Amino acid sequence: MTINNVDLDSVVGLANAITDDPDNAATRWNATVVWNGGFRSESRVRDFDPVASDEPTGLGGTDTAANPVEQLLGALGNCLAVGYAANASAAGIAIDSLEIELSGHLDLHTFLGLKEGHAGYSSIQATVKLTSDATEEDLELLHAKVTSTSPVGHTLARPIPVSIELAEATSASAVA
Amino acid sequence: MTINNVDLDSVVGLANAITDDPDNAATRWNATVVWNGGFRSESRVRDFDPVASDEPTGLGGTDTAANPVEQLLGALGNCLAVGYAANASAAGIAIDSLEIELSGHLDLHTFLGLKEGHAGYSSIQATVKLTSDATEEDLELLHAKVTSTSPVGHTLARPIPVSIELAEATSASAVA
């Protein structure tokens, strides 16, 4: 069955495979970022074209692409879109259109070294605009399901162990 | 002064403007995500070209782009690249090359509705490969500075209030 252009059989098949063997739920995801000078870099995922990153000129960049904190908001919105599409399809709800506006507040003091403390977003808001002929009640249930199962949403809302290691600081003095 | 192609004057100017008026540190960032059917969507930031998102076929997608949790890793890597470039430049360290490998483990049970609990990454690792003729000691200091001031790093490592609202669930029954 296909609804919302979602291949539901594939999702159900994966859920069944995980029920048969819970180890199938353990996934690992990867990305590689290459610095291109200045505040420009690019992220590479599998065989897809690299996605560019830069900072606005007011922050010292050359303003050629969305910056990392904007990319983070995009990742959240894309994750929520998958969540709505998947759960709506499972519930038999056809989505006519779906648009998500994301916004976050960030105090630059810590990033700029002017204060110690929290360098990240102080809060993030997402506003979901969804049109469908489902009832308000069904849409509220859908919304509750999506927000309680969002991988990116939970990664942002909860503390995650983030380990950052300097593995190969090859310096001339070290190799001399 | 330009080092690493970083416009340091611009960064220093911003820091000075914030010292003069702390309100200048308050920034707001935005993105809009538009659903394109199935698990495909795109994020739009300012006037830049939209960036596509999809899921692998095993997860019910059509595998045309990196998925949201991969994008999240990319955002972290790009943020760290800016942090190294900015802090190295401020310290007079020239970076020859910089590449960051990112990886995260995610258990799919919650996303697929098979269990309640944490749907996000259980942990994220970043491995930084940096070449420079700076001393190991200077590079370790640089590393410590970057990890203690990373906006995306802190957003992931710490709990952030994430509010997700269903604003316009325009349904046929509601407008009838």
ipTM: 0.95
A114–chain B Cβ distance below 8 A for any pair: yes
* Chain position carrying tokens 């399809």: A89
Nearest residue to B138 (alpha-carbon basis) of B75, B95, B98:
B95
- A113 contact partners, CB below 8 Å, separation of at least 6: B15, B87, B90, B145, B149
- Token couple for A94: 């056809």
Residues 129-168, chain B: which have Cβ within 8 Å of A?
A: 129-136, 139-140, 143, 145-168
Where would I find the beta strands (DSSP E) of B36-120? 41-44, 51-53, 95-107
Residue B27 burial (CB count, 10 A): 17
Q: Are B123 and B105 in contact (CB under 8 A)?
A: yes
pLDDT > 70? residue B175: no
Which tokens in the block code for residue B49? Answer: 């070209």
Question: B102 - beta bridge partners?
Answer: A31, B126
**pLDDT grade for A171, boundaries at 50, 70 and 90:** low
Inter-chain residue contact B127 with A165, CB threshold 8 Å? yes
- Return the closest-CA partner of residue B97 out of B128, B76, B135: B128
Mean pLDDT, chain B, integer: 94
CB of A75 less than 8 A from some CB of B: yes
Count Cβ atoms below 10 Å from residue B135 Cβ, excluding itself. 15
Q: Are A66 and B50 in contact (CB under 8 A)?
A: no
* pLDDT tens digits, A86-99: 999 999 999 999 99
Chain A residues with CB inside 8 Å of B150's CB? 111, 119-120, 164
pTM for this prediction: 0.95
The secondary structure of A39-89 as a DSSP string is T-EEEE-TTSPPEEE---GGGTS---S--HHHHHHHHHHHHHHHHHHHHHH
Neighbours of A12 (CB within 10 A): 14
Mean pLDDT of B17-43: 96
**Predicted confidence band at B10 (pLDDT cuts at 50, 70, 90)?**
confident
Nearest CA among B118, B116, B121 for reference residue B156: B121
Per-residue confidence at B11, pLDDT binned at 50, 70, 90?
Answer: confident
A74 in reach of chain B (CB within 8 A): yes
Is the Cβ of B68 closer than 8 Å to some Cβ of chain A? yes
Residue A160: its H or E element: none
By the 8 A CB rule, do A167 and B131 touch? no
**B146 falls in which pLDDT band (50, 70, 90)?**
very high
Give the tens place of pLDDT for each residue, A19-66.
999 999 999 999 999 999 999 999 999 999 999 999 999 999 999 999
| Each residue's pLDDT tens digit, B58-100 | 999 999 999 999 999 999 999 999 999 999 999 999 999 999 9
Query: Is the pLDDT assigned to residue A174 strictly greater than 70?
Result: no
